[in-house]
Amino acid sequence: MGEEYIVEIAATPSTKQLQIKRGELVYLSHDIETTSSLKSMLGLESDSSFNTEVFGEYIQHATESEKAKHRKSIAFIDGSMRFLESATIQENIKFYLDSIQIKSDKSVVENLLSANGMSYEQTTSELSDYQKFVLSIVVGLAKQPEIVVLINPLSQVSEESFAQMMDSFYKLILDQGMTCIITLSNLKLAELYPGRVVSHTAMA
């Protein structure tokens, strides 16, 4: 795999080659099949049938410890994260990061919280549904991932709120040089924040 690519899924009889460049923002049309394929492609499922190279290593040939380290390098955000309602934002972030033994990137956390009118001292019960979704992104980014995967945020927030979230998130991923994959049920929104739109034919 060339150094410019961070993810490369080799072509198979049923799957076309998909390459994602380091620091690239890629949009995919959202459906259940796409989400499942992404998990397999990125080595997040043990029974992955994809011949996937991530960070220059083939996931299928990695040891269990290498796979665990690999999973820590990916933030897979699908809205399933749950928080302790009585705990503060800071306590919730610490709880999740302690569970995977990773220290947070405070600058990233503070920038994203501030941009969305949130602070460490707030309890989760004080947050709106939109802010709870932002918190799940904050937790994902706090572990300093190499790859961020955002699964159909439109299932969690309105299109207007998505645009609000992306105003801060888009600048952050550009500044940090993050590789980001976003699935959307309305790909027209991808036009607001330039990236590469990958059709289903590239994954089917």
* Full pLDDT tens readout for the chain, 204 residues: 444 556 665 544 444 566 788 889 999 888 767 777 777 777 676 655 555 666 566 666 667 777 677 777 888 888 788 899 999 999 999 888 887 666 666 778 888 899 889 999 999 999 998 899 899 998 888 888 888 999 988 888 898 888 888 888 888 888 888 889 999 989 899 988 889 898 654 554
First to last CA, the chain: 21
Residue 49, amino acid? S
- For residues 95 and 99, give the distance between their C-alpha atoms in angstroms, rounded to a whole number: 6
Q: What domains lie within the chain, and their CATH numbers?
A: 5-202 (3.40.50.300)
User: Considering the entire predicted model, what is its pTM?
Assistant: 0.80
The residues facing 9 across adjacent strands are: 18, 52
The 3 state secondary structure assigned to 58-99 is EHHHCCHHHHHHHHHCEEEECCCCCCCCCCEHHHHHHHHHHH
